[in-house]
Structure 1
Amino acid sequence: MLPFTTYAAYTDSWMRFTRAYGEMSLHAAEVIAHRTFQMATGTMSAPEAIGMVMEKATAFAVATERAALVAARGGDVMNIASEALKPYGAKTRSNVRRLRG
């Protein structure tokens, strides 16, 4: 049986990951709503449309690199997942701030 501190650390890791994932999901939903409105009203700029496609590939590449580095250093599953989520969270946060403006 694992010591209590180990269980507490796992729980803490899961809670931090779940919170970050939830925030990223809410931001993504808001970005989708803003962009859907822009497309429906014909107000989406060409740079926004191109960025909307390209940002996914960029975030995926950065997430893969970060996850691979943590895995290579012997990180556990939660650390790997958390590092992989960070680029997506950062991008959705920046998109929300920009599109709200």
Structure 2
Amino acid sequence: MSNNPMNMMFAWMKIASSYNQMMLSSSEVIVRRTMMMASGTMTLPDAMSMMMEKGTIYATATERAAVAMASGADPAKITAAALKPYSTKTQSNVRKLRG
């Protein structure tokens, strides 16, 4: 990406939009999982998955940000690379919990 201020502004706006969508998805996941726990319908595999996914996603996000940084990406691309695994997982969790 060039250093054009408009391009950078649009890149950061896209990141903000993606972040907002991720936050909405994660809020829904938290509500749905809390309801499952409260009603006693959460299975042991679901509980284990819920706990294990945190470390896995963190490691993936860190790796992707490091690769982007080592490749000379600009800050917006590094941020987008780090955000993508979280966004993908929260959207996947929402689809799974709705179905």
TM-score range relative to shorter protein: over 0.9
Q: TM-score, normalised by structure 1?
A: 0.94
Say which one has the larger Rg.
Answer: 1
**Displacement of 1:78:** 0.9
**AA partner of residue 20 (structure 2):** G
**Displacement of 1:76:** 1.1
**Displacement of 1:42:** 0.7
Runs of 4+ aligned structure 1 residues displaced above 6 Å come to: none
Tell me which of 45, 57, 77 is aligned to 1:59: 57
- Percent pairwise identity: 48
**Displacement of 1:46:** 0.4
Whether 1:83 and 2:81 are equivalent positions in the alignment is yes
- Spell out the pairing of 1:7-86 with structure 2 (5 A cutoff): 7-86=5-84
Paired with 2:18 and 2:51, the residues of 1 have a C-alpha distance of 23
Structure 1 unaligned runs (5+)?
none
Q: TM-score, normalised by structure 2?
A: 0.95
For residues 7-62 of structure 1, the C-alpha deviation after alignment (integer angstroms, 9 at most, x for no partner) is: 11111111110010000000000000000000101110001100111111010011
Query: What SS does the corresponding residue of 2:73 show, helix, strand or coil?
Result: coil
Q: CA RMSD in A?
A: 0.9
